Amino acid sequence: MKFKDYYATLGVERGATEAEIKKAYRRLAHKYHPDVSKEKDAEARFKEVAEAYATLKDAEKRAAYDQLGRHRPGEEFRPPPGWGTQFGDAGSVFEDVDLADLFAGIAGHRGRGGQRGPSGAMRGADYEARVSITLEEAFHGTEVSLDLTTTEFDEHGAPRRVPRSVKARIPKGVADGQVLRLPGQGGKGARGGRDGDVYLAVSLRPHRLYRVSDHDLFLDLPVTPWEAALGATVKIPTLAGSVNLKVPAGTRAGHHLRLAGRGLPTPHGGAGDLHAIVQLTMPSELSARERSLLQELAAASSFNPRQHLE
Partner 1 sequence: MTTDRGEAFGFDEERPLALSDLADLSGLSEAEVLELVDYGALSPADATAGQCVFTVRSVTVARAAHRLREDFELAPDGVALLLSCLDRIRDLEEQLRALRARLPRSAGTGAAGVGG
Residues that bind partner 1 (CB under 8 A): 26, 29, 33, 35-36, 46, 50, 112-113, 115, 123, 126, 162-171, 174-175, 178-185, 197-200, 211-214, 216, 218, 220, 254, 256, 267, 275, 277, 279
Closest distance of CB 139 from partner 1, Å: 15
Residue 162, C-beta contacts closer than 8 angstroms, at least 6 positions apart: 96, 149, 150, 151, 152
Residue 116, C-beta contacts closer than 8 angstroms, at least 6 positions apart: 108, 110, 122, 123, 193
- Cβ proximity to partner 1: between 1 and 198 the closer is 198
Residue 85, C-beta contacts closer than 8 angstroms, at least 6 positions apart: 92
Closest distance of CB 80 from partner 1, Å: 31
Closest distance of CB 213 from partner 1, Å: 4
Distance CA 195, CA 31 (A): 32
Query: Residue 133: helix, strand or coil by DSSP?
Result: strand
Cα 208–chain centre separation: 20
- Angstrom CA distances, 100 to 51, 189, 196, stand at 7, 18, 18
Task: Name the residue type at position 206.
Answer: P
- Angstrom CA distances, 79 to 102, 286, 291, stand at 10, 79, 84
Closest distance of CB 33 from partner 1, Å: 6
- Cβ proximity to partner 1: between 143 and 287 the closer is 143
Closest distance of CB 268 from partner 1, Å: 8
